[in-house]
C-alpha cells in the first residue's frame, strides 16, 4: 500500500471545513483590499480639500504658483487613486478565480455523490459556486470596506465644523438603519423566490429529459402549465420582497437628498454667521456625498449579500457531507475477490431499508448472476458494490479492502460498469470508450473488439471519431449499450459489474454479450451481472435471488432457477466453494431453508 501521488488539492474535512480553509487562505488578500480602501479614501479626500484650498487661498491671494502646486498635488492623488482602484479590483478578481478553481474538484465530487444519494442538486451547487465567485469579485464587498473607512470623512467633517460632522454622522447612521430594515423586510422573500425558482427550473429540466414521452403523449401544454403555475407563485413571492426593497431604496435616496439639503442649509447659515468660508461650503458637499455613497451601495446590493450568505451555507452543507469525503489511499490491482458483509442500506429520506443483511463472497474469475422482482434491490446492490453509495451497516471489500476507503480514480481503473440505462458523454466514440481520457488508440480498439462492437463502429460515418451529442451521429439503444460495454472493458478491469446489459440488445448483441462474459471468466475477471434472460444466466457460476431487499436463495442455477419458475428447487447441491453465502441475520444461503 502507498499514498496516492500528488493531485489537485483535496480537503480533509476532519480538521476544518473547506470553505473555512478557503476563507483563511483568502484573508491576506482581503486584508490587502481592506487597507487599500483606507488609502483610496485618503485619496478621495484630495478633491474636497483641493476645492477648499482653491476657493479660500488661491482666489483670495491670486497666486498662480499656489494654484499650480495644489493642482499638481491633486492630480497626483487622482493618479494614485486610479492605481489603487485597479490593484484592489485585481485582488478581488484573483481571489474570485482562485476560489472558483479550488472548489471545482470538491464541488464536482459533491455534485456526483449528492446526485447519487439524492442529497444535492447539481445545478444548485453550480449556482452557489458562481454566486460566491460574483460576490468576491463584485463591488459590494468593496463597498463594505469603504463604509468602514467612512469614519475618515466624519473626522474631516468635524474638523471643518462640528455641525457638519453631526449631519454626516446622522446621515451614515440613518442609511445603516435603512440597510438593516431592508434586510429584515426583503431578504427572506427574495431568497425564497430564488430558491423556489431554482427548484422549478430543476423540475423542468428533469421533465425535458423525457422529451420523447412529453411530445409523444401530447403533454407539452400540461408540463408548461405546471411550470407556469410554479413560476407564477415564485414571482408573487419575489415581488413582495422586491417591492419592499424598492421602498427602502427609495427611502434611502430621499433620505440622502434630505441630508444634502440640511448640509446646504447649515453651510449657508454658517457662512452668513462668518463661521466658515465659501470653500468649506463646496468641500463639505463632496465629503458628504463620498461618506454616504458606500452605504447606499450596500442597500442596493443587500440582495447579493443575502444570496452569497445562503450560497455559502448550502455549499458548506454539500461539501462537508460524509459522502463527499474523498479517500486518498490506493492499493494494488485487485485480484477480483469480492466480500460482502451484512450490508444494510437505507436511502436518504426513507425510513425502511431497501437491502438487509446481504452477505456473500465471490472468488476471482467467477460469475454471479443477480435476479429478482422489481424493487428487490438489485441495482442498489450493484451501486454499493461500486462504492458510489455507502451502506448504513456492513462493508464491501475487494481483496480485503473496503471499497469506500479506496481512492476513486485509482479504483475506477480496475472496475467495469454498465448501468441499467447506459448513457454516453458528449464527445467522440473514442473518447467514450477511453473514459474521456487521451487514451491509447490500441487500448480503445482492444476494448471495442472484446465487446464485439469494433465492426459496428467501423460502419459509422466517422468510425471511432464519430461525434456523439448534439449534431452528432444518432445511435440505437443497442449500439449505445454495446459501446457502454466497451467502455466498461477498457483497461481490462479485474471486476465487471453489469446491470441488465442485455436490456436493449437484439439476438446478435446478446450472443456477443455471452461471448464477452465467457472471455472475462477465462481471463480471471470477476463478473457480477443483473439479468433475467436465461441465456445470460446460463453463463453464471451461481445465482443470487433477491426479494424485498433480502437474499431468498444463493446457490447454483439448478437450485435457484426453479424458484423463479414457481417450481420447488431440486435437492440442495453444495455450491462451488469459490462462491458462498456468509452467515447473515434474516437471510438464507445456499443451504438455507
Domain shared by 379 and 463, yes or no:
yes
Domain end position, chosen among 318, 351, 386: 318
pLDDT of residue 462: 87
Domain housing 90:
16-318
Identify the weakest region by mean pLDDT among 383-392, 462-471, 478-487, 519-528.
462-471
Identify the weakest region by mean pLDDT among 234-243, 309-318, 333-342, 541-550.
234-243
- Confidence band for 308, pLDDT divided at 50, 70 and 90: confident
Q: Where are the alpha helices (DSSP H) in 273-324?
A: 278-300, 302-319
Q: pLDDT at residue 428 above 80?
A: yes
Whether the Cβ atoms of residue 331 and residue 406 lie closer than 8 Å to each other: yes
Helix (H) or strand (E) holding 580: strand 579-580
pLDDT tens by residue, 322-334: 554 567 788 899 9
The answer to whether residue 583 is domain-embedded is: no
Domain shared by 77 and 169, yes or no:
yes
Q: CA triplet 153, 159, 165: central angle to 5 degrees?
A: 60
The answer to whether residue 11 is domain-embedded is: no
Whether the Cβ atoms of residue 407 and residue 330 lie closer than 8 Å to each other: yes
Q: pLDDT at residue 450 above 60?
A: yes
Mean pLDDT to the nearest integer, 297-301: 78
- Backbone torsions φ then ψ of 330, nearest 5 degrees: -115, 155
pLDDT of residue 309: 80
**Residue 506's CATH number:** 3.40.50.300
Domain end position, chosen among 318, 345, 369: 318
The answer to whether residue 137 is domain-embedded is: yes
Please state, in angstroms and rounded to a whole number, the distance separating the CA atoms of residues 378 and 585: 19
- Entry pTM: 0.65
What are 282's three cell numbers? 463646496
Domain shared by 344 and 304, yes or no:
no
Strand partners, 369: 529, 543
Gyration radius (Cα) of the chain, Å: 34
Mean pLDDT to the nearest integer, 525-540: 90
Domain shared by 281 and 352, yes or no:
no
Q: pLDDT at residue 588 above 50?
A: no
Q: How many beta carbons lie within 10 A of that of residue 437, not counting itself? A: 11
Q: Give the chain's largest Cα–Cα span.
A: 120
Q: pLDDT at residue 578 above 80?
A: no
The answer to whether residue 3 is domain-embedded is: no
Please state, in angstroms and rounded to a whole number, the distance separating the CA atoms of residues 393 and 440: 40
pLDDT tens by residue, 142-200: 888 988 898 898 898 898 889 988 998 898 888 888 877 776 776 666 666 666 666 66
pLDDT of residue 414: 92
Please state, in angstroms and rounded to a whole number, the distance separating the CA atoms of residues 433 and 456: 14
31 vs 237, more confident: 31
Q: pLDDT at residue 107 above 80?
A: no
552-559 long-range CB contacts below 8 Å, 24 or more apart? 552/372, 552/588, 553/588, 553/590, 553/592, 554/360, 554/581, 554/588, 554/589, 554/590, 555/589, 555/590, 556/590, 559/590
Whether the Cβ atoms of residue 341 and residue 569 lie closer than 8 Å to each other: no
Domain shared by 109 and 144, yes or no:
yes
Domain shared by 265 and 397, yes or no:
no
- Confidence band for 362, pLDDT divided at 50, 70 and 90: very high
Whether the Cβ atoms of residue 37 and residue 87 lie closer than 8 Å to each other: no
Please state, in angstroms and rounded to a whole number, the distance separating the CA atoms of residues 257 and 454: 76
pLDDT of residue 210: 61
Please state, in angstroms and rounded to a whole number, the distance separating the CA atoms of residues 316 and 318: 6
Mean pLDDT to the nearest integer, 211-228: 67
114 vs 431, more confident: 431
pLDDT of residue 118: 58
Please state, in angstroms and rounded to a whole number, the distance separating the CA atoms of residues 33 and 399: 53
The answer to whether residue 167 is domain-embedded is: yes
Domain shared by 395 and 264, yes or no:
no
Please state, in angstroms and rounded to a whole number, the distance separating the CA atoms of residues 538 and 523: 18
Burial class (CB in 10 A: 0-12, 13-18, 19+), 372: buried
- Confidence band for 385, pLDDT divided at 50, 70 and 90: very high
Domain shared by 136 and 57, yes or no:
yes
What are 278's three cell numbers? 465659501
pLDDT of residue 12: 46
563 vs 35, more confident: 35
Cα–chain center distance at 570 = 53
Strand partners, 402: 397
Whether the Cβ atoms of residue 553 and residue 391 lie closer than 8 Å to each other: no
Short-list 250, 208, 200, 246, CA closest to 227: 200
Domain shared by 68 and 182, yes or no:
yes
Q: pLDDT at residue 348 above 90?
A: no
pLDDT of residue 589: 39
Strand partners, 393: 344
Q: Which of 310-314, 373-377, 465-469, 542-546 has the highest mean pLDDT?
A: 542-546
Mean pLDDT to the nearest integer, 200-226: 65
Domain shared by 341 and 293, yes or no:
no
Burial class (CB in 10 A: 0-12, 13-18, 19+), 280: buried
| Strand segments (E) across 65-179 | none
Mean pLDDT to the nearest integer, 266-272: 88
pLDDT tens by residue, 487-502: 999 999 999 999 988 8
Helix (H) or strand (E) holding 242: helix 220-272
Half-sphere exposure of residue 109, counting CA atoms within 13 Å on the CB side? Answer: 20
Domain end position, chosen among 264, 288, 318: 318
- Cα four-point dihedral sign 151, 154, 160, 165: negative
**Residue 25's CATH number:** 1.20.1560.10
Q: pLDDT at residue 1 above 60?
A: no
Q: pLDDT at residue 115 above 80?
A: no
In the DSSP assignment, the letter for residue 473 is B
Q: pLDDT at residue 591 above 60?
A: no
The answer to whether residue 324 is domain-embedded is: no
How many separate domains does the chain show? 2
pLDDT tens by residue, 247-267: 777 888 888 888 888 888 998
The answer to whether residue 212 is domain-embedded is: yes
Whether the Cβ atoms of residue 186 and residue 247 lie closer than 8 Å to each other: no
- Confidence band for 10, pLDDT divided at 50, 70 and 90: very low
How far apart are the two ends of the chain, measured CA to CA in Å? 42
pLDDT tens by residue, 230-251: 667 666 666 666 677 777 778 8
Q: Which of 50-59, 70-79, 293-302, 342-351 has the highest mean pLDDT?
A: 70-79
Angstrom CA distances, 89 to 85, 135, 137, 409, 495, stand at 6, 13, 8, 38, 52
The answer to whether residue 541 is domain-embedded is: yes
Short-list 41, 43, 44, 66, CA closest to 55: 66
Give the torsion through C-alpha atoms of 449, 453, 458, 462, to 10 deg: -110
pLDDT of residue 582: 41
Domain shared by 415 and 297, yes or no:
no
Domain shared by 226 and 274, yes or no:
yes
Amino acid at each position: 500500500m502507498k499514498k496516492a501521488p500528488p493531485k489537485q488539492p483535496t480537503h480533509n474535512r476532519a480538521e476544518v471545513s473547506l470553505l473555512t480553509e478557503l476563507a483563511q487562505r483568502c484573508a491576506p488578500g482581503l486584508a490587502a483590499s481592506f487597507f487599500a480602501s483606507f488609502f483610496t479614501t485618503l485619496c478621495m479626500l484630495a478633491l474636497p480639500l483641493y476645492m477648499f484650498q482653491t476657493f479660500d487661498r488661491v482666489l483670495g491671494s491670486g497666486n498662480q504658483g499656489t494654484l499650480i502646486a495644489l493642482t499638481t498635488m491633486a492630480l497626483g492623488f487622482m493618479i494614485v487613486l486610479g492605481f489603487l482602484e485597479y490593484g484592489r479590483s485585481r485582488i478581488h478578481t484573483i481571489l474570485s478565480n482562485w476560489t472558483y478553481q479550488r472548489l471545482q474538484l470538491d464541488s464536482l465530487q459533491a455534485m456526483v455523490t449528492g446526485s447519487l444519494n439524492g442529497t444535492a442538486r447539481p445545478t444548485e451547487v453550480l449556482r452557489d459556486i458562481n454566486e460566491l465567485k460574483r460576490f468576491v469579485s463584485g463591488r459590494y464587498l468593496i463597498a463594505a470596506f469603504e463604509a468602514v473607512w467612512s469614519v475618515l470623512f466624519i473626522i474631516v467633517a468635524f474638523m471643518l465644523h462640528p455641525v457638519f460632522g453631526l449631519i454626516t454622522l446622522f446621515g451614515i447612521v440613518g442609511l445603516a438603519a435603512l440597510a438593516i430594515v431592508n434586510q429584515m423586510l426583503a431578504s427572506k422573500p427574495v431568497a425564497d423566490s430564488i430558491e423556489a425558482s431554482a427548484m422549478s427550473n430543476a423540475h423542468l429540466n428533469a421533465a425535458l429529459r423525457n422529451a420523447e414521452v412529453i411530445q409523444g403523449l401530447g403533454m407539452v401544454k400540461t408540463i408548461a402549465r405546471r411550470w407556469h403555475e410554479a413560476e407564477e407563485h415564485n414571482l408573487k413571492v419575489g415581488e413582495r420582497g422586491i417591492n419592499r426593497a424598492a421602498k427602502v431604496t427609495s427611502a434611502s435616496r430621499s433620505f440622502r437628498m434630505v441630508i444634502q439639503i440640511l448640509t446646504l442649509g447649515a453651510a449657508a447659515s454658517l457662512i452668513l454667521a462668518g463661521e466658515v468660508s465659501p470653500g468649506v461650503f463646496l468641500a463639505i458637499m463632496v465629503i458628504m456625498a463620498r461618506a454616504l455613497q458606500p452605504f447606499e451601495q450596500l442597500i442596493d446590493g443587500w440582495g447579493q449579500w443575502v444570496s452569497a450568505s445562503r450560497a455559502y451555507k448550502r455549499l458548506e452543507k454539500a461539501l462537508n457531507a460524509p459522502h463527499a469525503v474523498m479517500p486518498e489511499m490506493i492499493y494494488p490491482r485487485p485480484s477480483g475477490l469480492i466480500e460482502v458483509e451484512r450490508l444494510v442500506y437505507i436511502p436518504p429520506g426513507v425510513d425502511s431499508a431497501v437491502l438487509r443483511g446481504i452477505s456473500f463472497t465471490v472468488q476471482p474469475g467467477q460469475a454471479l448472476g443477480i435476479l429478482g422482482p422489481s424493487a428487490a434491490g438489485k441495482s442498489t446492490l450493484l451501486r454499493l458494490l461500486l462504492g458510489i453509495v455507502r451502506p448504513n451497516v456492513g462493508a464491501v471489500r475487494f481483496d480485503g479492502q473496503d471499497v469506500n476507503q479506496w481512492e476513486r480514480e485509482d479504483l475506477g481503473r480496475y472496475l467495469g460498469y454498465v448501468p441499467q440505462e447506459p448513457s454516453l458523454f458528449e464527445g467522440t466514440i473514442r473518447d467514450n470508450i477511453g473514459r474521456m481520457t487521451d487514451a491509447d488508440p490500441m487500448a480503445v480498439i482492444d476494448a471495442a473488439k472484446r465487446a464485439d462492437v469494433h465492426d459496428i463502429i467501423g460502419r459509422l460515418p466517422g468510425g471511432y471519431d464519430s461525434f456523439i451529442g448534439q449534431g452528432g451521429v444518432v445511435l440505437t439503444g443497442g449500439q449505445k449499450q454495446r459501446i457502454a460495454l466497451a467502455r466498461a472493458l477498457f483497461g481490462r478491469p479485474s471486476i465487471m459489474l453489469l446491470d441488465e446489459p442485455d436490456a436493449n440488445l437484439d439476438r446478435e448483441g446478446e450472443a456477443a454479450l455471452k461471448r464477452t462474459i465467457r472471455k472475462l471468466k477465462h481471463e480471471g475477471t470477476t463478473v457480477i451481472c443483473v439479468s433475467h434472460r436465461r441465456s445470460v444466466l446460463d453463463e453464471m457460476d451461481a445465482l443470487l435471488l433477491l426479494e424485498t431487499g433480502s437474499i431468498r436463495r444463493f446457490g447454483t442455477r439448478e437450485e435457484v432457477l426453479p424458484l423463479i419458475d414457481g417450481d420447488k428447487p431440486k435437492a440442495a447441491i453444495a455450491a462451488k466453494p469459490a462462491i458462498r453465502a456468509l452467515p447473515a441475520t434474516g437471510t438464507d444461503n445456499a443451504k438455507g431453508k
